[in-house]
Amino acid sequence: AHGGVRCKAAADLDAHYMRRCVELARKAAGHTSPNPMVGCVIVRDGRVVGEGFHPKAGQPHAEVFALRDAGDLAENATAYVSLEPCNHYGRTPPCTEALINAKVKEVVVGMTDPNPIVASKGIEKLQGAGIDVKVGVEESLCRRLNEAYIHRMLTGKAFATLRATLSMNGIVTNQIGTGADQSGGYYSQLMKEYDGVIITSDLAKMSTLPISHEAGANQPLYIIIAQGESSLLHIPSLSEEHVSKAIVLSDSPVTVKPAGVEVAVLRQIDLESVLQLLAQRGLCSVLVDFREAGESFAALLNDFQEDKQVQKVVVEVLPVWLASEGRSNLAFGGGQSFPLKNLEHREVNGSVLLEGYV
Ligand code: AOF
Ligand code: ZN
């Protein structure tokens, strides 16, 4: 019985340090694509001696920062990593080598890396060097952390989340809840975490582009859908700083456009080709921001469940009853009804936020 208690305590500790890895990894949210977010904690004799996370693609991996932080204390220590350590020379040398050279005794891994050039080879390499490896601690948390990275790796498409705000009577509205786009607000946080946001040219023309107000946030790439339009002269919010962060996707040649804006002409604008194009550009996640002025999205989003193009839905319900004449609801998604999975809800400044997976 004592052994059982000790085992449970050890498992609880493993989970505790892994949650810390995830917390560390999240510090780089919105900065790592096309790489995953990864955190690492080095523990020796029940004490944390090193911590690190992957800050940005091209920079060292989480393990390297944590090992540097631990210095000599990494010897005989346990390294916790939210993702399997890599075993390849990419932009940076393999983390397996760094862990072996540091003489850690044990490595606890949150999840294996879906990247085909890593896929379990990192674990095998560590085991081959005589290091104990434990895999799958707080695995669902680690998967959730990198749901977009995993999706892109497995499908070659960006992970898409559909977002909309509804009134109590189900009308789509352009307006978002009080404080939602201020620092700490849910919308500002989405803008920080997502690599890109898809909006219609109608919206781009009539209001300012959404931005994140979180400290140190990376602003998303603006993907402006312009179907059947040849002139985009007036996008008032495309200031100089935004120009490099915007791409217009059109199904017809755009003759007049704001200076400096990149235009990609697609034969046909369907969500699948858009998500493929974005993944090729290194985006892991994209928010499809459905606004009142977003009716041209309806075609894009038809059959999204059958197509498996949209992975997640975020709906904000405002405590307001809106005049309904001529207003739209979210009438797309194909002829099928289906439940959303892993539903979560919370109250944010008087609105209710619902999140679910398709
Ligand atoms: C880790 N720890 O912190 C990260 C890993 O181009 P590179 O060298 O940065 O390699 C990118 C790949 O390495 C990425 O696709 C993923 O498989 C892995 N990321 N691995 O051990 C880390 N960020
Ligand atoms: Zn690595």
Segment holding 81, helix H or strand E: strand 78-81
Q: Distance between CA 225 and CA 204 in Å, rounded? A: 9
**pLDDT category, 259, cuts 50, 70, 90?**
confident
11-35 average pLDDT score: 97
CA distances from 268 to 96, 105, 216, 273 (A): 44, 55, 36, 8
Ligand 1 touching residue 20 (CB < 6 A): no
Integer Cα distance of 236 and 247 in angstroms: 15
pLDDT digits (tens, 9 = 90+) for 188-211: 999 999 999 998 887 777 777 889
Q: How far apart are CA 309 and CA 104, in angstroms?
A: 42
Q: What is the pLDDT of residue 212?
A: 94
Q: What is the per-residue pLDDT for 351?
A: 96
Residue whose CA is closest, atom 18 of ligand 1? Answer: 86
Average the pLDDT over 157-186 and give the result.
94
- Burial of 140 (C-beta count, 10 Å sphere; 0-12/13-18/19+): exposed
61 lines ligand 1 (CB under 6 A): yes
Least-confidence region, from 37-41, 54-58, 218-222, 233-237 = 233-237
CB 62 within 8 A of CB 37: no
In the β-sheet with 196-200, what is the strand arrangement from edge to edge?
A: 262-265, 246-250, 221-226, 196-200, 285-290, 159-166, 312-317, 351-357, 341-348
Per-residue pLDDT, 325:
79
In this prediction, residue 146 has a pLDDT band, given cuts at 50, 70 and 90, of very high
Give the pTM: 0.93
Q: Look at residue 295 in the predicted model and tell me its pLDDT.
A: 63
CA of 16 to the centre of ligand 1 (A): 23
CB 34 within 8 A of CB 146: no
Note whether 87 and 56 are within 8 A (CB).
no
267-285: average pLDDT: 94
pLDDT band at 239 (very low <50, low <70, confident <90, very high): low
Q: With bands split at pLDDT 50, 70 and 90, how would you rate the model's confidence at 5?
A: confident
Give the Cα separation of 29 and 35 in Å (integer): 11
Would you say the CB of residue 56 lies under 6 angstroms from ligand 1? Answer: no
Q: In the structure encoding, which two tokens stand for residue 215, read together?
A: 């400290």
Tens of pLDDT, residue by residue over 49-103, are 999 999 999 999 999 999 999 999 999 999 999 999 999 998 889 999 999 999 9
Q: How far apart are CA 109 and CA 334, in angstroms?
A: 40
Active site residues: 63
Contact (Cβ atoms closer than 8 angstroms) between residue 133 and residue 126: yes
C-alpha 56 to ligand 1 mean position (Å): 10
